[in-house]
Amino acid sequence: MTSKLNLEKAAVEFRKECGYNTDNPIRVKSLLQQLNVLTIFRKMEGTFSGMSLKVNEDRFMLINSTHSIGRQHFTIFHELYHLYIQKDFERIICDGPKDSKNKKEESNADIFAANVMLPRDGILNFIPAEQLKKDKILFSTILALEQYYSCSHQAMLIRLENLNLITQKMKDSFATDVIVEAQKYGYDTALYEAGNENLVIGDYGVKAKRLFDEEIISKAHYLELMRELGIKFGGNENTDEY
């Protein structure tokens, strides 16, 4: 059974392997490019957050773009646990039906994601000394932390509670309309809103174009592959010009 300490250690090692120290924020899209994880953002219904797939050394991720940007970021780190840490992993749909094993791995993925995205050292170093007591942190500091680490309001509150910096009572009192509160402090609210619809990160398109240029696949096949990414060539699809 994987302990929380082992998951925290795995998160620290993962950050280091990716070139990050124990407290700085991670640029999510840059990390996905660095790891060459093909990531596609699409509108999804219901509670679906994301899914991941691993075939040999190729890794794929699908993220629900109807969720807020901050929540999407947490989902991405959650999926990275499945892709890089979970043993004998092949495929999983998050927020889908789960058996007991999947429930445990989903819990592990959440713990790993919290530690990678919101490192203990970084949070403690960011918070002013006078606020490093239970229930003493200011709402403005929490917002600043969320902007610094590009996470959702809910993820930050849960992390602060797990670090024993706030109680459940204070967590509940801070669970307000974060967009309204962020606007009061002059922050960009994009983090708390949906986005990234039809965004693709990875070399899928590059590979498709190379196969077409090398005449390994037909023009029709190439166009179909690009349409699957949401890319259209307008009126030129039926010509030899793009």
Least confident of 37-46, 148-157, 161-170, 217-226: 217-226
pTM: 0.85
d(CA 54, CA 156) in angstroms, rounded, equals 29
Q: How do residues 22-40 score in pLDDT, each as one tens digit?
A: 999 999 999 999 999 989 8
Query: What CA–CA distance (Å, rounded) separates 11 from 17?
Result: 10
pLDDT at 242: 40
- pLDDT per residue over 111-134, tens digit each? 999 999 999 999 999 999 999 999
Distance CA 211, CA 222 (A): 8
CATH number of 4-118: 1.10.3470, 1.10.10, 1.25.40, 2.60.120? 1.10.10
Every domain of the chain and the residues it spans: 4-118, 121-191, 203-236
| Mean pLDDT of the region 145-165 | 97
Q: So what's the pLDDT on residue 238?
A: 44
CA angle 130, 134, 136 (to 5 degrees): 45
Sheet (strand 58-64) strand order? 91-94, 50-55, 58-64, 38-42, 200-201
